[in-house]
Structure 1
Amino acid sequence: MRATGILAAMLVATAVSAPAKAQTATDRTRFEPGPCAVEVATDERIDCGLLIVPENRSRADSRLIRLPVLIFRSRAEAPAHDPVIFLTGGPGNSALAGQRSGRGNPFLEERDQVLLEPRGGKLTEAALECPAINALKGEIASGAIGRAQADARLTAAAVDCRADLVARGADLNGYTSAEAADDIEALRVALGYDKVNLYALSYGTRLALTVARRHPGAVRSLVLDSVLPPEVGYDETASANTWRALNSVFDGCSADPACAAAWPRVGEDFRTLAAGPDGSKVVAAITNALQDPRRIALIPRAIGAAAAGRREELSGWIASDAAAPTARGIRAIRRGSCRALVIAATTFDPSGPAARVRKSSPTRGQAVAQ
């Protein structure tokens, strides 16, 4: 899960255990067809509009917010009445940004695919953006601000941003997983669909589970990719989970004779690199590599070579991660009702035969994944 600099990422509730209650402002919810919030292909059947919902459904006088909607229409003559709704991660990521075409989308062979910009997202009318935090993170990543000051500066920027949003009329109590889940149900009802298939990534999996809990009759199936369970406090567990994954890779290398001979100090080398002047970039690159099955087995080589002064591979990872964040997903919804497909975030045995690290050059001591 990636930090976004959007305050919504700090405000989403961690769990919702009760079913949805009667809502005081349901009659104010509607869908209005209109222009697309992003540029889309003109030779495809794509409909757009705005889902208009109360910012805080517990208040009868809550202001209305407008959430952009993008609908890729099915290519089937008689589409199923249960679309796929994609729930992005973050929280705070845009669901519509970069979504231009449905060409090649296998979902459209049988049903529509619907995208809803999450409340607080950058394409909404009431975006909860904190540009000062984004700028500050850039300074931290560049090394202009040291680690000793980073947390205090980020905290101060978050406090200032919150005050600014409240001063501009935002009701921050409305930015929870429960409200976002009710947005999905409001969208289903407004568009006239019988049920929905939820395809969710990272934080989106928590939202999907919240939708299923609050509106069980509306959900046909779930695809949960890289699950964030409702009971998990991500900020409290992320570091420990990252270390657990890293140690699994390091221990696997130590258990493999070839990898251990080529990179005998991979754990120590990583700590040395992480403490260096570009440590935050190194940590980000290795963390992203843990989420890419093609690179997991290459981590010992990238770390060991960089520690020895050969930084080409690691530098390439840093550059590519900055240019194009990792995207993952699947290409099919399973048939049947009330069915869930769960995809593990990263399931990998570093010492297993499918991803064995082998020494390829006696002189350079580099390893490759076979």
Structure 2
Amino acid sequence: MPPRTTPHRRPARRLPATLAAATAGALVTGLAALPAHAGPRTHDPIGTVARTVGDARFEPGPCPRTADPVPDLARARCGTLTVPEDRSRSHKPRAHPGHGRRTITLAVAIMLAQSSRPAPDPIVWFAGGPGDDAVSEIPLATAGNLNRDRDVIFMSQRGTYSADPELTCPNIDRFNARALGLVSNAPATGRLHVAATRECRHRVDGTGAERRTYNDIESSADYDDLRRTLGIRKWNVFGISYGTHLALNYMRLHPKGIRSVGIDGILPPSTAGGAVTWKAAREGFDGLFRACEQQPACNTRYPNLRSTFLRLVSQLEANPVTTTVTVPGEPEPVEVVLDGSNLVTWLTSATHVAEGVPRSLDELAHGNPQRIAEQLAGGKYSPQAIGRVAHGLVYGVFCSQWTPYESRADIVRGGHRAFPTFPRSMLANAPQLAWLHDDCRAWDIPPAPPWIRDVTRSDIPTLALSGGFDAQTAPSNGAYVARTLSRATTVTVPYVAHVVFADSRCAQTITTSFFERPTAPDTRCLAGLQPPQFEIAP
């Protein structure tokens, strides 16, 4: 994959010094573990029995390897799901021991409910990305108390870190870091982008993987196979970030067996692409700027913050600023070119640490780029930014489901609508999606069927959660998807960025209450929420 942050991956929480791994989607580690089960369970069969259903087989077994420690796995029930890599009838079988066609193996981990009498319908977790490993997101789910009353099931989506084959491309992650020293929209940068993509493609092909099968259609079938091989009649779905994109397609493709669906940080498949990424950035930025304007101390110290940001973007795109910063673990200072596109990229993630944004922009306006440059470099050079993301799955989704149905001109128009003052040189490369059409030509997979872009119509009870500061998936996307979901509850949590479940106790309360009562979640906590206290420089 090119040197980008995939736009719909859950970034790191609350690390003001560096936004550590925010641009690689790493989840915060070391979240507090929840207590073990309160007592003996009256009925607990999930994940204990090997079972074959059709071409799929679940086998109980040891818990999977993870890139970073996941202490919760010590009390998880684990196994693997084996499924065909390519379910299409036109596929030519390839030799594989014991099978007529190639299979892949997906890691499964089940966090048992804290309750001794859990509800019979578990929750299945759809990870962010595309390309994040669900097993690595267990600490996020348990910290939010999601497994209070229900077992929560995590399966590594095809191609991700705990799956076999594993389609990560560390060369791309390392290039993401080095690319901070390049001008974002220069043609030479684009050529290097594509070269990194080709190297990734060669690595993926070397695993024997069929690149065109890593997409929402096959992944949805994988989850349906998981439900059936675990013997689950009904389950609930909770998807974050890109996981909402997958969940909305899963609802259409395999509605049987779904009791309810929660989606947080919503990316509708019908609109996914660069244009909506521009729209999301505008909505998230405006939410943060309004909060500063409404706080007297912030508005007095940093007046016209929106105008300051827009002016800085145009100035830096015309005349980039180059600086060097020290990054923990790097033997030498690293170079950062701060141009208009990099400033937009920074703010897209910095909404997660909103308190410091006005001060950082003010310092930049007065000639000091260090704070912003340190945060950009700290994220991309973080160890959590290297080798975690399944770029084979990223491209499988983007290049079959997005770029065939959105032109460069569409992206430029979307950018101009959202930011009419931005230089045209920026608009074809949407936030965190630079050079995507060029990369997809190099990836060379066929488009998914056109119906993959249809809206999802369903009467399954759905909770559509958004954050008022979400600059990665637009807050308005909740209302958009609810138009065709007849039993949807739409909630926007103010003053919170992308994936509100990660950062908001109120969002966690709403989510757990929804799975208890899908038609009447408890939203009373919204009334007491307050804006952040913005940092005021002396």
Sort the TM-score into its range (normalised by shorter chain).
Answer: 0.7 to 0.9
> Match for residue 20 of structure 1?
none
> Match for residue 16 of structure 1?
none
Specify the code of the residue in structure 1 equivalent to 2:231: G
> Match for residue 310 of structure 2?
267
Offset of 1:78 from its aligned partner?
2.8
> Match for residue 88 of structure 2?
58
Offset of 1:260 from its aligned partner?
6.0
Q: Does the alignment pair 1:87 with 2:126? A: yes
Give CA deviations for 1:47-82 in whole Å, capped at 9, x if unaligned.
Answer: 111110110111463410000111111233332221
Segment drifting more, 209-218 vs 323-332: 323-332
Confirm or deny: 8 A CA contact 1:120 1:128 kept in the other structure.
Answer: yes
TM-score by length of 1: 0.74
Specify the code of the residue in structure 2 equivalent to 1:97: S
Structure 1: where are the runs of 5+ without partners?
7-24, 348-352, 365-370
Confirm or deny: 8 A CA contact 1:220 1:337 kept in the other structure.
Answer: no
Specify the code of the residue in structure 2 equivalent to 1:29: A
Specify the code of the residue in structure 1 equivalent to 2:363: A
Structure 2: where are the runs of 5+ without partners?
10-51, 94-100, 323-336, 386-497, 502-506
Confirm or deny: 8 A CA contact 2:53 2:229 kept in the other structure.
Answer: no
Offset of 1:203 from its aligned partner?
0.7
* 2:78 alignment partner, SS class: strand
* 2:233 alignment partner, SS class: coil
Q: What is the CA RMSD across the aligned residues, in angstroms?
A: 3.9
Specify the code of the residue in structure 2 equivalent to 1:28: D
TM-score by length of 2: 0.53
> Match for residue 346 of structure 2?
285
Q: Does the alignment pair 1:35 with 2:69? A: no
Q: 1:315 to 1:118 in 2, by over 3 A?
A: same
In structure 2, how many angstroms separate the alpha carbons of the residues matched to 1:55 and 1:301? 50
- Identify the structure with bigger relative contact order (alpha carbons < 8 Å, sequence gap 6+): 2
Q: Does the alignment pair 1:3 with 2:6? A: yes
Offset of 1:195 from its aligned partner?
1.4
Q: Does the alignment pair 1:69 with 2:108? A: yes
Q: 1:234 to 1:339 in 2, by over 3 A?
A: farther
> Match for residue 22 of structure 1?
none
Aligned residues: 331
Give CA deviations for 1:107-137 in whole Å, capped at 9, x if unaligned.
Answer: 3332111111010112211122223322222
Give CA deviations for 1:135-155 in whole Å, capped at 9, x if unaligned.
Answer: 222210244998432222112
The percent identity for this pair of structures is 25
Give CA deviations for 1:81-103 in whole Å, capped at 9, x if unaligned.
Answer: 21111111110111112646986
Q: 1:360 to 1:139 in 2, by over 3 A?
A: closer
Confirm or deny: 8 A CA contact 2:112 2:150 kept in the other structure.
Answer: yes
> Match for residue 14 of structure 1?
none
> Match for residue 301 of structure 1?
359
Confirm or deny: 8 A CA contact 1:86 1:115 kept in the other structure.
Answer: yes
Specify the code of the residue in structure 2 equivalent to 1:308: H
In structure 2, how many angstroms separate the alpha carbons of the residues matched to 1:267 and 1:40? 41
> Match for residue 17 of structure 1?
none
Q: Summarize the alignment of residues 119-268 of structure 1 with structure 2, pairs less than 5 Å apart.
A: 119-143=158-182, 147-246=186-285, 258=300, 261=303, 265-268=308-311
Confirm or deny: 8 A CA contact 1:266 1:300 kept in the other structure.
Answer: no
Confirm or deny: 8 A CA contact 1:223 1:340 kept in the other structure.
Answer: no
Confirm or deny: 8 A CA contact 1:72 1:102 kept in the other structure.
Answer: no
* 1:74 alignment partner, SS class: coil
Give CA deviations for 1:285-310 in whole Å, capped at 9, x if unaligned.
Answer: 311123x2x61x65333212222145
Confirm or deny: 8 A CA contact 1:285 1:321 kept in the other structure.
Answer: no
> Match for residue 367 of structure 1?
none
